[in-house]
Structures are given as structure tokens and as C-alpha cells.
Amino acid sequence: MIPERVSEEQWTRSLRRKRLRSLAPLHLNLHHRRQTSRAMADMTTDRASAGAGADRFVLRALAVPDFHKGFMQLLGQLTVAGDVSEAQFAERVQRLGDDHYVAVIEDMEKNQIVATGSVFVEHKFVRNCGKAGHIEDVVVDQSVRGQHLGQRIVEFLTRFAEDKGCYKVILDCTIQNSSFYEKCGYKKKEIQMAVYF
Amino acid sequence: MIPERVSEEQWTRSLRRKRLRSLAPLHLNLHHRRQTSRAMADMTTDRASAGAGADRFVLRALAVPDFHKGFMQLLGQLTVAGDVSEAQFAERVQRLGDDHYVAVIEDMEKNQIVATGSVFVEHKFVRNCGKAGHIEDVVVDQSVRGQHLGQRIVEFLTRFAEDKGCYKVILDCTIQNSSFYEKCGYKKKEIQMAVYF
């Protein structure tokens, strides 16, 4: 049965992803964070399905040493990153709980972080005390754009949220970036509003 | 100095809110959850500034007994609420941490929850490891709409996030509801995209 508010196309895609997962081999590249077996299979899928770039561009969880691999500078291509110390960075990484995952792609030739995105799981009361995933802060380094690294990040984060039991994943983006997210399976829904202090 | 990306109008409003807070008297109506002194002052402000409806409509944090005051039925006016047991509800209330606040307005004449909204604080890496507030699941009971209860909820949640140190608060809504959020100080920014499982 197709769940409410899911198009047939989305549902087919979801089933295809589940099939891919079940076939995933077990070559893992995990750093730092405890993973569930499902998330480990996801990572493996990501590597295995990434083709020729898989050996050069490795997707994994953010780790403390990434402070010296250009992670904050990469975020600076997205918005104001600020002047974060190594200690502050390490503290923030270490306080990421099980419901907050920051994915990175490392360029193994240059030992640099070249793509990132995060997802956190909101525990709600609606939908039978359901969960919703929120994707934030997706950015790919200018030098490696056009190689589908952003899509790898977003698809990984989406699967992560699905495996956590989320009934949906949402994100906000500019009109210009909406076609990119459509390639990742997302559809336009509402509008975002904001207040800045 | 007006912070980056904040309009003068937003900044003026923010200052006005801060002034209101500093003048707030201390008649509190707190249930159940531990509050910071700032948030307590906020609640007081909300009551004090609410005019004639303040005695009948009291804003406070969600509490376990609200299961019997129509909280889940109220959410059912927003989306699928589901069939949540009292034990499941209590567990969910009790696991709300310091970064997740569910506000409710109780109609003291009927002992019913007639408005709600939530905000949670996302800990980011951008903006000097800054914080962003996310407002979700705002709904006002059909029988009491037009009495500015939704505005009280949203303005309270916005202040809560500001007091937590957030540099912004964001939310998603329909085009039709955007004028309501504009009255609460919000401006249209991006678009929301979603995938449902």
C-alpha cells in the first residue's frame, strides 16, 4: 500500500533504494562515530554505487580531524562560517547525538573535505509521535562541482533519516537549487519564512 | 549595530521585545517543566501583554496531563495525529530536552488545550557554531480562531529561541498562511522541499 501523501514515483524510488541496500556489499569506511548496521549498509551502498569516483571521494561521518581538512572553510562557501577554534569544533562534533548526523565527502587525493550536509531527526507528536528529518547546510566545494557529490550527500542523508524511522525529510533551498533537489527525489511543498536576530 | 541579514524593521521589533521583557511583572503560570529565568520572564510577558484574554487563555509548556485536555485532538486539526496512548504521550513529553519546547494555550474555562506550537534548537557549525530555531506544528482550535492565540504562540516560541542564543528562527508554511507569519515578524525567504516515505 502506498502511504498517504507519497506519490507513486516516490514510493517506487523508496523501494528501489531498499532493494539496493539489501544487496550492498560490506566494504566500510567508517570514522569516529558509532553506526547502526543499517547506516553502515547505507554507507557501503554509497561507496559501491558511486562508480569511478568512489575511491577518490569517500563519504563518511564528520570527525574531529576534519577541522584540519578544510571543513569550516567549505562551510564558508555556503554562508558565514565564523572563526571557530579547534577546541570549540571538537566539542561540537562530540556533542552530536544519535539524531544528528553530519556527512562529509573527503577527497582522498588531497585529504580535504569537499562536500558536506547534515540531517537531524525531530521527534514530533503528530503522526503517532512520529519523526521528521531535517536536512541542512549542504555544500560542495567549487572545484569538484558537477561530479554528483551533492547528490550523494543528500541521498545518503535521506536514507539515514528513513532508517531512523522518519516519515518524511524536509529541507529549504532557493528556487534556483530546487531542480538539484528534485533529482534527489524531493518535491516542492511549502515556503520557508525566517526571522533573524 | 544591526546584524547582517536583519532588516531595520526586524531589528527594531527585536529591541522592542527585549524592552517588553525587561518590564515584565512576575505572575507565573508554569506547569511541569524546568524553565530558565529568561523563559519565565517571557511567559510572564506573554500573559501580561495578552489583554483581556490572558486570564482565560494561559500560555505554558506542554505537560503530561494535557493528554486529557485534547492536545492530540488539536493536532488532528493540523495533520494526521494518529492513535497515541497515554503512556506513549507521557514518554514523549518527558524526553523533550532543554532544546525542544512545546507551548500550549489552555482555555481555563473549558480546561482544554486550544493552541499549540513547538520550537527546537538546532546546533550548527556555521555562524561560529551557532544555533537556529525551528518552529513546527502550530495550530489553533477552530472555535477560538481570530483571537490572536496563534500570534501569541509564535511570538513566544520566537523569543524562546532568541533567548537560547539562536541567530535565526525558521519555519515552513503554505503561501496562504504567510501573511499570518508576517504579522509575527517573519519574512519569506526560500522554498521548502520534502520527500515522504
Whether A2 maps to a domain, the answer reads no
Instruction: Report the Cα–Cα distance between both ends of chain A, in Å, rounded.
Output: 45
User: Which ranges of chain B have pLDDT less than 50?
Assistant: 1-9, 11-12, 15-16, 19-45, 47-50
Confidence (pTM): 0.78
Q: Which residues of B29-43 are buried (b: 16+ CB within 10 A; e: fewer)?
A: eeeebebeeebebbb
**H or E stretch covering B43:** helix B37-48
Total number of domains in chain A: 1
Whether A118 maps to a domain, the answer reads yes
- pLDDT for B51: 52
The helix-helix angle for B8-22 and B37-48 (nearest 10°) equals: 100
- pLDDT for A4: 41
Stretch 125-184 of chain A: residues touching chain B, C-beta under 8 Å: 125-130, 132, 134, 136-137, 158, 162, 166-175, 178, 181-182, 184
Give the C-alpha separation, B136 to A193, whole Å.
Answer: 12
Whether A109 maps to a domain, the answer reads yes
Whether B192 maps to a domain, the answer reads no
Whether A98 maps to a domain, the answer reads yes
Question: Are the Cβ atoms of A194 and B167 closer than 8 angstroms?
Answer: no
Give the C-alpha separation, A112 to A92, whole Å.
Answer: 20
Supply the range of the domain harboring residue B174. Answer: 8-183
For cell 532568541, the residue is: B162
Give the C-alpha separation, A117 to A133, whole Å.
Answer: 13
Beta bridge pairs of residue A133: A121, A169
Q: Find which of B136, B179, B197 to mutate to test the A interface (most A CBs within 10 Å of its CB).
A: B197
The CATH number given to whatever domain includes residue B172 is: 3.40.630.30
Whether B136 maps to a domain, the answer reads yes
- pLDDT for B4: 41
ipTM: 0.77
| Average pLDDT along chain A, 197 residues, taken 10 residues at a time | 42 49 34 40 46 79 98 97 96 94 98 98 97 98 96 98 98 97 97 97
- pLDDT for B129: 97
Segment B132-146, tens digit of pLDDT: 999 999 999 999 999
- pLDDT for B167: 97
Whether A29 maps to a domain, the answer reads yes
- pLDDT for B85: 97
Q: Which of A10, A178, A192 has its CB closest to that of B196?
A: A10
Of B127, B115, B99, nearest to B155 by C-alpha is: B115
Whether A165 maps to a domain, the answer reads yes
Question: Are the Cβ atoms of B129 and A79 closer than 8 angstroms?
Answer: no
